[in-house]
Structure formats: structure tokens, C-alpha cells
Amino acid sequence: MFLGSYRLFDIVEQNEEAQFEICIITFDIKEPLNHTLTPNYQTLKERTIETCKEHNDEQVKLLLESKAEIEREISQGYDGSKTLTQLDYIKNALKHFRKWYKNQELEFPDSDIYIQQPERKPKYQEYEELFHSFLSDPNANPEEVKSILNDKPRWKNPSAYLSQARRKAEITVSELKAYPGFIWIDPKGTAID
């Protein structure tokens, strides 16, 4: 994900002369729309609206890729205020580009052209990947592990997924409890391997 500055290219009238404008859009959490705009002007030289379009197409590509990445994070449950603020910044930056394309009577680049959506993994594979990442993390927070792996809206039957992931890893319940992130499983000690 790229949250750095984006550049909107345009040709504008400045002091009764056509200028090449590069408007820098910068993430700024202190601003009401989570960004600032800083215009910079250069002599026009050989630049045309087509030059601007080529540059803007690249910027839109970066924005759409970042937007898709943030939306994937949100869909996976990582929707904290920081993530939502970053998404807001990306959406607001995209509005500036949409307005430019509309003013130039150009078609806004289609997101499908730029973003290849990865194939969605089956739920059990998603669960197993999370399971293994927590298993290999010596600093895994048991509360976080439990809330993610036992998230019933996300996993229809979290205990079945946990059992399957544990068996595939060839780990007994008592061995699993020895891992820092998994001290919460089987609190009564009644699980059968």
C-alpha cells in the first residue's frame, strides 16, 4: 500500500499564461479531509493534456491498488480508525482525479484494468494461514488470537477449523496450549486428541 504523496497533473492558466501544474496531494490526518493540496507550476514546454493523462493514469493506478489493499484489510477485520482514515484519504484523493477526468471529458480509468483481484482462498485456508502465523509468533497475544480465530461471523464453525488446523500441523491440544498465543484453548482440560 502506498500512502505517500500523489501528484495530479494539469494544464492551467496562471498569470494569463498556460502552465504545467503538479498538484501534490499529501496525507495529513490533522486536515478535515485527511489531506492537503500543494500546487506547483512549471513552464508548459511540450506538455499536453495527453501528457497529463499519462501521468494521471499512473497515479490512479497506485491509488486504486492502495484502495483495494486497504479494503482487503478491512474485510479481514482490520478496520481500526487508522485504517479507515487511510481509506478516507485514498477516496478523497481519487475524487480529485475523477474531477480532472470529468473536466477533460476523458473516461476515468477502469479499476479492473489495473487491479488483478487475487483468487479468494477457501475459508479453511485463510484460517490455517492465520493459525500458523500465530503459532510461529512467540509474542502472540492470546486475547487477539482468540478473538480472531473464534470470530463466529467470520468462521461458521471456529472450533472445527481450529481442530482441523491443529491436526494438519500434527500438534496435540496439550502441545498447542504451550504456545503463547494459545493458552486460552481447552481451559477445563477436557479436549480429546
**Single-letter residue type at 141:** N
137 Cβ contact list (under 8 Å, min separation 6)? 180, 181
pLDDT in tens, 154-165: 888 888 889 999
145 Cβ contact list (under 8 Å, min separation 6)? 134, 181, 182, 184
Positive/negative CA dihedral, 144, 146, 151, 154: positive
Give the model's pLDDT for residue 1: 59
- Helical pair 142-149 and 158-168, crossing angle rounded to 10 deg: 110
| pTM value surpassing 0.75 | no
Q: Is residue 110 very low, low, confident or very high in pLDDT (cuts 50, 70, 90)? A: confident
